Structure formats: structure tokens, C-alpha cells
Structure 1
Amino acid sequence: MANSNAATGGRLHRAVGFWGLMFLSLGSIIGSGWLLGALTTAVIAGPASLLSWVLASVMLGVLALVHAELGAAYPIAGGTARFPYFAFGPLVGFTAGWMSWLRSVMISPIEVEATLSYSDRIGWVHDRVHILHPNGTLTPAGLVIATCFMLLFTIINVLGVRLLSSTNSVTVVLKTAVPLLTAAVLMSLAFHGANFTAGGGFAPYGAHGVFAALPAGVVFAFLGFEQAIQLAGEARDPQRDVSRAVIVAMAIGTAVYLLLQVAFIAALQPSAVSHGWASPVGKGNFGPYATLATALGAAWLAIVLYADAVISPAGTGLVYMAGAARLSYAMGRQRVLPRPLAGVGRRGVPVLSVLLAFVVGELAFLPFPSWQALVSVVTSAAAVMYAFAPVALHALRVRDSGRPRPYRLPAGSVLAPAGFVFANLIFYWSGYQADWKLAVTVLFGLGVLAATRRGIPVGDRGALRWRSAAWVWPWLVGLLVICRFGRYGGSHALPAWWDLLIVIAFSLAVHYCAVRLALPPDAVDTAVRGERS
């Protein structure tokens, strides 16, 4: 049985079982996205927002299955940073890990922002404590409350993975029960079937609306399925449990979000959407389900929803801080971030990495005004992060074919390239305005990598494997150019549908080129064995 005492030898403490892993992924999936996603997507796509959820579930489902095979075959902490490292070397591993870390470290403050924004709409709270300025930024009082949330996340994380898992499991039960209760109550009180063709028909904004809704909250809602993989280094039986946890969490999350979208559309007053979907619950309403519940005479449900507006985002923020810490821990072990980040405390927790996540999260409260302000950027970062996984899987199947794979992706030779295409399409749909900002953060990250390596003696630096990384820069620059001329925040120079064909063709070319440039088998084996040394 795994050691239940403090970690020894600087290793993480293996203390999490299947249910803990599954709840970690599900707890990340069900966060502020369920409170805000239905309204946001309905405004952009109308009733066809249902297609947005289905499309996202299929695309991210493939990516989840890719991660499930990788997580079971290579059960290590911070897997999204290390799978590309095994296949392509430190430079690619750092780029993937940097994107993953940025995404994870920003979600904790985003979830806190969602909690405070929701709470500020409660009359008795707003009358006593001014949390937000009119432009959505935090007041001094709001910043204090936000800091208290971040401190709570930090303390729970520092006290150990067992407490983290137990705390998260309790909150996830509530986080899942409340959305299901909400959907059931709304559909029992009002089900206006005509709403699904109101305001211009089922798809009033066409396919463009369906695609545009994906980065506006749909993909963001599904983010987090990989959290079980980030903590695989602390799983008791990772080969058996990690893949199952990811698959089950994704299936439950998909069912919950589809039910919520159906309930939301059906419960709206027909007069509110008969002429369009610009304002289905009235301007300024930040809590759409609570507004609908009150209008339908279920004020008690509104109270439950406002309580859950604290529990759901806070639980997700807690888990993402843990994931961010494991990523910086992983990159510290790879020597692409400062080595002290890989230090493990007596409770088997990377304490310095947790504290770094707290500090960066605090900085994120200062410049950004609201939940919506970062969703597209975070979605874009997640798309890049997820894109590395299918390429790494395909390359590792070729270069490390003899490794046991407790879970094997069906039709991997087809679904791995498809997963890469799906991630690139999500990046494209995120829009040029989000994507160019992300490109700046990549350049900053490379500066961090250069500074880190300068602090390492020349003989200990190791090769960055530039040849195996040669596909990354043409890929990222090429995607950015396509986005610049595309119709999602770009110049609209690319014709509709042709833009998607260009993204697909470009993605497939990059994918197969990347697989050919992967490290040779002996280098892959050395990297994997080095992880266990």
C-alpha cells in the first residue's frame, strides 16, 4: 500500500484514490461556467447554443481521452507539461507547461471574481459591502475579501493533498446537486418549447454564432478535466484510476451543462426572446438562473443559487491552485523554472509552488475588471496547452511503443490528429484579440526560461532539443497569421468555411511534421527514466 505518512526523499505523497481524482476533475469542470455560461452562449448563438455545448463536448471529449491514455501510461505530477517534454525535449515541454501554468494560475482569481460579482448582485450584500466599482474592478473591500479566498485556497493546499481531496469531494457533491436541482425545478415550473425557434429561428446567427459561443464560456466551462492528470503523481493507483476519473468526470459534466442550457432556454419568457436574443433576462442581470427562479416564484431556489455562487467557483479555484502548483513543480524538476519550485515540504506538497500561485493570483486581481475579461484569453491558452497532448501521444506511441498503456485511445491514429485539429480550431475561434495577447506571454515565458538557464552551470543545463522543437514556432506564428485574417476578431479577409479548411489543413501538416521530429526512442526512454530517479 502507498505510504500514508509524510513524503520522503522529496517526493509527492500518493494518497488520492479514484473518487478523489474524479472529483478533482469534475470539481474543475463545474465552476463559474455553469452559473454564467448559459446566458452568455444564448446571447451569442440563440437556441443553437445547444449545438455549441455538443460540439465542445465532442472536441474536448477527444482531448480528454488523449489525456487519459497519457496520464495512465505516464502517471506523474504536472503531466501536461511533461508529456511533451518526454516526446520533444525541454523547450517544447516548457512551452506547453508555460501555457498550462498560465491558464491554471489565472483561473483561481477568475473564479473568485465570479463569486464576488455574483454576490455583489445580492441586495443586502451590496447595501452593506461595496465589493465592485461600477466598471467591475474590485474595491478595497472587495480586494480584501478576494485575498481571504486566495489565502484559504493556499492554506488547504499547503496542509496536504489528502485534505485538498477531502475538501474538494464535499464541495463537488454540492456543486453537482445544485445545477441538477436548478434544471429540474426550472423545467417543472416553465417549459416554453417555442423558445427553441424564437427570435429568428433555432440558429438566428448561423454557424458563426455556434462557433463564436465556444470561447465565450462553453469551452471555459469544460476546462479542468485534466486536473486528475496534474495530480497523478499523488494517486494511489494511477494506472488504474487516472483514465477512469477523467472519462467519468467529462461524461457527468457534459450531461449537467446540456440539461442546464435546455432548462435556461425553456424557462425564459417568450416575450423576452421573440425579437432576438440580445437580452433574454434583462440588461445587468449577472445571475440568470436566480433571476428566472425569482420570476417563476421559486425565491428559495434563488437563495440556494446565491449560496452556490460561493461554493462552486471557490471549489474550482481551490483545485486550480493545486494544479498550477504541480505544473510549476514539474517545470522546476525539468530545470526550466527555478529549481526551488520543485521542493516538497514535509506534508508532501510543493509549498513554494503553491505560494507562487497565490502571489500571481493576487496580481491578477489588479488589472482585470470581471469574469468575462479573461475567459477568452484563458480559453486560448488552454487550446494551446491541449494541442500539445495529441501530438505528444502520437509521437510517444511511435517512439515509446513498448510502454504498458492501461488505457488505450481507440483509433488513436485518427483521433490524435483530430484532437490537434480541434485544439487549433478552438484557438482560432477564441479570436485574434485574445490570441495576440497570448503570443506576448509566450515571448515573456521564453525570457523566463533564458533567465533560469543562465543560473544553471553550463555543464548541468542539458540540451534544449532545438530540432525536435522546430515545428512549434511555425505552428504558433502560422496560427496567429490565420487568426489575423480570419473572421473572429481579425480582418475577415478569409471567406467563411474556407477559413476553417485552412486551419484544418495547416493543423494536419504541423501534426505529422511534429511526429517526425520527435526525439529518438533512447532519448525518450532516458527522459522517462529520469523522472523516476
Structure 2
Amino acid sequence: MSQLKQEITLFSGIGQLSTTLLGTGLFMIPAIAAGIAGEASLWAWIILFIAICPIALTFAQLGKRYPNAGGTAYFVRQAFGVKLERSVAWLFVSVIPVGLPAAIELAGGFAQQLLPSPLNNAMLAQVLTIALLIIVSLIGSKSSGQLQTVIALSIFSLVGAFFWVGDIGTQDLTMPALTSDSLWSIGAALGVMFWCFVGIEAFAHMGEEFRNPQRDFPIAIIVGCFVAGATYWACSVVILKFNAYGSAAFDSTSIPWLSEHLFGSGIKTVISLLGFFACFASINLYTQSLSRMIWAQARQHQPDGKLAKVSRRGVPANATYLVGGILLISCIAGEISGMDLEFFLKLANGIFVFVYLLAMLAAFQLLTGFAKWLAAISLLLCTLVFVCLGWSMLYAITIFALLSIPWKRIFINRSISWDKNLRKQK
């Protein structure tokens, strides 16, 4: 068996994307953005959503016309050929050791609060998170989508409860006045908030597994982005009303603090459980996307290899085990060395934005009519965001440049040259 199962429905697809976009971001970014821009962060969310719409719509058009597990790498191959496809594919895979461990650490922090005292260990919590990621990935995209849909509904229920119990009124929903000073703070907040919509490129790898990709995939992207954007904005309204921002502690504890403040300490376990699964949902889609990227490359270049095989459930099992192994090694290395995971998260953000940029470049080449102009706008937006990343964009460019060098041809030419020299010496 060498094909993925087409099990993802429209509803489960919306659930998968919305939980991926919310994921770790909901527990950090609204409070951080409020700390940077204050009430003006409400405008920043609207601006970000407007900016992300053409990018999301462009991904929707690409996924509709080219549904493939290779995602952006496949789009690039259709536009520019196989050589550039390989570089993009491994650029995306290179995010495994620098980006996902930070998210796993955050998820493990919630899991650690749920473990009994003898097992209350940070490393053990991360190992258990990775094990659960592999198990969920192996059971298939249908079951995984159903799980993430449940998580999405739980998150929406929590934010809705914040509105109800927090007595959010018309005054709280009134947009603040814009000033010249607030425009600068909005710009600074947007640089952080873009992280909330990193995940669309990973979702592109799931297009091949939709029952009806031409109809459902673009709808899932558009609705998923709208749902996530509305949830972020609503959560920011609550955070601003109760001043749950402005300190380093609030950057990661604003949601637990609000829950305890509004519902009492008895809900602490529920919030830890929801926090874990929200973070887990985000990492889960990336784990599945990365394994499908590796599988798609193996299917293209080594169709008889072990990584090109799929299980009876239609899952690239060997590729999933490989991703899980790399995650485990990366988390252990990070825990032992005490490396700054925030630093690596910035490196990962540079890779993600660069992947977005390359996808939009491929879209401009492939699409026609209105979709082509939409891709042009998206390409400009991604370029501006990439430049704003500063030093972290250099990491993505360096990795991409190294991956683009024809190392195999260089080694072959050198070996031929060495053989000729040896013959001359003899």
C-alpha cells in the first residue's frame, strides 16, 4: 500500500486547522501583544487577519488545484522543478530540531501539572508528549481530526465562558482610538503575532487526505483562519478588561490566571488539561505534516524504500517514527544543555515565513487571473514580514542556500578529479 487514505472531512479539517493556529499561541500571544500595544492590540488582530486573508486564500487555491502530501515543496516543484523542490522540502523538515521542542516543552509544562508527584518531571512529561504524538499520528488522520475538533470546541467553550462570567459588555468591545504612537506599538506587536497564523503551510500537507479536496480544502482553510482570528480577538478583549498582561509571568499564565480569577481554583486541573491538549493539537499537525513531507519525498525519489511505505491505516508509519525519534533527541539535548528554546523558536519562525514566501512565489507562477494577483499581494506581504524578522531570517536563508548546493555532484566531480591525479602519479 503506497497511498494515504482520504479520510478528512470538511468539519474535521476546520477543527484541525483552527486548533493548530490557536495551539500554543492562545496561551502566550494575546497577553504578549497586549503588553506591547495595550488596547491597540485589538486593532493589531484585525490588521493581522486582513493581512493573512490573501495568504490563506492563495494556499486554498494551491491546495485545491494541487492536493499533495508534499505541500509547499510540491507547489514549488510544479512551478520551478525538482531541484528547488528538494531544498524546500528539507528546509521545512529542518524545523524539527529547532521549533517543535519549544512547543513540546510548553505542552510538557501543562502535562507536568497533571502527573502524580513521583512522575512530576519535566523531561518525563516531554517524553510522554512525544509518545502520545506518535500514537495519535499512527491511528490515522480521521481519528486525529476528530480529536482536534473536540479540542477546538473546548477552547471555544472556554473563551465563551470568559465572556459570559466576565460580563463582557459593549464598552469592552469598543475599539480604541488610533494615534501616531499606537501605530508604532501595533507594528511591534504584529511582529510577534504573526506566529499565531503559522500553521497554514503545515495544513497544506494534508490536502491529499481530504475526501473532497477540491471542495473542502479551501473552505477548511478560510473558515479555520476566521475561527482562529475571532477567538484570538475575543481572548484579547478579556485579557485587556482584567489586566492579565504586562509582566513576564502573564506572558505564559494569563489564561490560567483568568480561569482561576473567574471560576475559582477548582478549575485548575481542567485548564491544565485543556492547555496541554491545545498545545498538543498544534504540535500534532506539524508532526503529521513533517512525516508526510518525508514520505512524499521518499515516494518521489526512493519509491521502494522503507520511508515510502504506509501502514494498513494509510499512515506513513516509518516516517512518523523518524520524526518522533528526532524530536526525542532534540528535547533531551535541549534539557541537558539548557539551551535557550526561545532563541530556537525565533529560528523556526524564520523558516516558516520563508516557506510561506516560497509558496506565494510558486503560486504567482502557477495561478492565473484574479488568483495570480492575490498571490502577488501575498508575496509582497510575506516579503515584508520576512524582512522584519531581522537576524532570524539569515538562518533560514543560510539553511536554504546550503540545501540548494549540489553536494552530490561536487563530491562526484572531486572523486573523479582525485582518481585522475592518482593515475597521473602512477
Shorter-chain TM-score: what band?
0.7 to 0.9
- 1:377 aligns to 2:352 (yes or no): no
Contact in 1 for aligned 2:107/2:280 (Cα 8 Å): yes
Amino acid at match of 2:183: A
Aligned to 1:439: 397
- 1:65 aligns to 2:57 (yes or no): yes
Aligned to 2:387: 428
State TM-score, norm by structure 1.
0.68
- The CA deviation string for residues 297-334 of structure 1, in whole angstroms up to 9 with x for no partner, is 64345553222111100122222111111112222233
Deviation at 1:215, TM superposition (A): 3.6
Contact in 2 for aligned 1:324/1:357 (Cα 8 Å): yes
Aligned to 2:417: none
Aligned to 2:66: 74
- 1:42 aligns to 2:1 (yes or no): no
Equivalent pairs counted in the alignment come to 408
Question: Aligned runs of 1:473-484 on 2, under 5 Å?
Answer: none
Picking from 303, 315, 322, the partner of 2:288 is 322
- 1:287 aligns to 2:237 (yes or no): no
Amino acid at match of 1:213: A
- 1:362 aligns to 2:339 (yes or no): no
Q: Distance in 2 between matches of 1:293 and 1:226?
A: 32
Contact in 2 for aligned 1:21/1:245 (Cα 8 Å): yes
Q: Distance in 1 between matches of 2:242 and 2:170?
A: 5
Deviation at 1:142, TM superposition (A): 1.5
The structure carrying a bigger helix percent of its residues is: 2
Amino acid at match of 1:229: A
Q: Distance in 2 between matches of 1:191 and 1:293?
A: 22
Aligned to 1:176: 156
Q: Distance in 2 between matches of 1:47 and 1:130?
A: 41
Amino acid at match of 1:344: V
Question: Aligned runs of 1:296-335 on 2, under 5 Å?
Answer: 298-300=264-266, 302-335=268-301
Deviation at 1:156, TM superposition (A): 2.0
Picking from 114, 133, 141, the partner of 1:153 is 133
Aligned to 1:211: 187
| TM-aligned CA distance change 1:203 to 1:312, over 3 Å | farther
Aligned to 2:243: 268
Aligned to 2:315: 349
- The CA deviation string for residues 452-487 of structure 1, in whole angstroms up to 9 with x for no partner, is 9989xxxxxxxxxxxxxxxxxxxxxxxxxxxxxxxx
- The CA deviation string for residues 22-51 of structure 1, in whole angstroms up to 9 with x for no partner, is 222122112010011111112222222223
Task: Tell me the secondary structure at the aligned position of residue 345 of structure 1.
Answer: coil
Aligned to 1:90: 82
| TM-aligned CA distance change 1:283 to 1:312, over 3 Å | closer
Deviation at 1:418, TM superposition (A): 0.9
Picking from 362, 366, 370, the partner of 1:392 is 362
| TM-aligned CA distance change 1:23 to 1:107, over 3 Å | farther
Q: Distance in 1 between matches of 2:408 and 2:125?
A: 35
Q: Distance in 1 between matches of 2:122 and 2:179?
A: 39
- 1:247 aligns to 2:217 (yes or no): no
Deviation at 1:377, TM superposition (A): 2.3
Q: Distance in 2 between matches of 1:129 and 1:284?
A: 28
Deviation at 1:284, TM superposition (A): 6.8
| TM-aligned CA distance change 1:345 to 1:142, over 3 Å | same
Q: Distance in 1 between matches of 2:295 and 2:400?
A: 19
- The CA deviation string for residues 331-367 of structure 1, in whole angstroms up to 9 with x for no partner, is 2233399954333233221122112211222233233
Aligned to 2:196: 221
Q: Distance in 2 between matches of 1:317 and 1:90?
A: 28
Aligned to 1:515: none
| TM-aligned CA distance change 1:179 to 1:65, over 3 Å | same
Question: Aligned runs of 1:6-17 on 2, under 5 Å?
Answer: 8=1, 10-17=2-9
Q: CA RMSD in A?
A: 3.4
Aligned to 1:185: 165
| TM-aligned CA distance change 1:156 to 1:29, over 3 Å | same
Deviation at 1:249, TM superposition (A): 0.5
- 1:231 aligns to 2:201 (yes or no): no
| TM-aligned CA distance change 1:388 to 1:437, over 3 Å | closer
Q: Distance in 1 between matches of 2:157 and 2:348?
A: 27
Contact in 2 for aligned 1:226/1:246 (Cα 8 Å): no
Q: Distance in 1 between matches of 2:310 and 2:51?
A: 36
Amino acid at match of 2:238: A
- The CA deviation string for residues 205-262 of structure 1, in whole angstroms up to 9 with x for no partner, is 643432332342x121222234443112122111111111111111111111111111
| TM-aligned CA distance change 1:181 to 1:430, over 3 Å | farther
Q: Distance in 2 between matches of 1:452 and 1:245?
A: 42
Q: Which runs of 5+ in 1 are unaligned?
A: 1-7, 132-140, 270-278, 399-409, 456-533
Contact in 1 for aligned 2:3/2:310 (Cα 8 Å): yes
- The CA deviation string for residues 128-178 of structure 1, in whole angstroms up to 9 with x for no partner, is 4796xxxxxxxxx32222111111111221232333223323323223322
Deviation at 1:71, TM superposition (A): 0.6
Question: Aligned runs of 1:195-210 on 2, under 5 Å?
Answer: 206-210=182-186
Contact in 2 for aligned 1:113/1:370 (Cα 8 Å): no
State TM-score, norm by structure 2.
0.84
Question: Aligned runs of 1:158-169 on 2, under 5 Å?
Answer: 158-169=138-149
| TM-aligned CA distance change 1:219 to 1:313, over 3 Å | same
- 1:117 aligns to 2:93 (yes or no): no
| TM-aligned CA distance change 1:231 to 1:212, over 3 Å | same
Contact in 1 for aligned 2:364/2:373 (Cα 8 Å): no
Amino acid at match of 1:385: V
Contact in 2 for aligned 1:211/1:429 (Cα 8 Å): no
Task: Tell me the secondary structure at the aligned position of residue 76 of structure 1.
Answer: coil
Which protein, 1 or 2, shows the higher relative CO under an 8 Å CA cutoff with sep ≥ 6? 2
Aligned to 2:415: none
Contact in 2 for aligned 1:29/1:253 (Cα 8 Å): yes
| TM-aligned CA distance change 1:168 to 1:295, over 3 Å | closer
Aligned to 2:10: 18
Contact in 1 for aligned 2:360/2:375 (Cα 8 Å): yes
Task: Tell me the secondary structure at the aligned position of residue 236 of structure 1.
Answer: coil
Q: Distance in 1 between matches of 2:173 and 2:12?
A: 39
Q: Distance in 2 between matches of 1:371 and 1:119?
A: 18
Deviation at 1:282, TM superposition (A): 6.7
Aligned to 2:43: 51
Contact in 1 for aligned 2:110/2:275 (Cα 8 Å): yes
Q: Distance in 2 between matches of 1:248 and 1:285?
A: 28
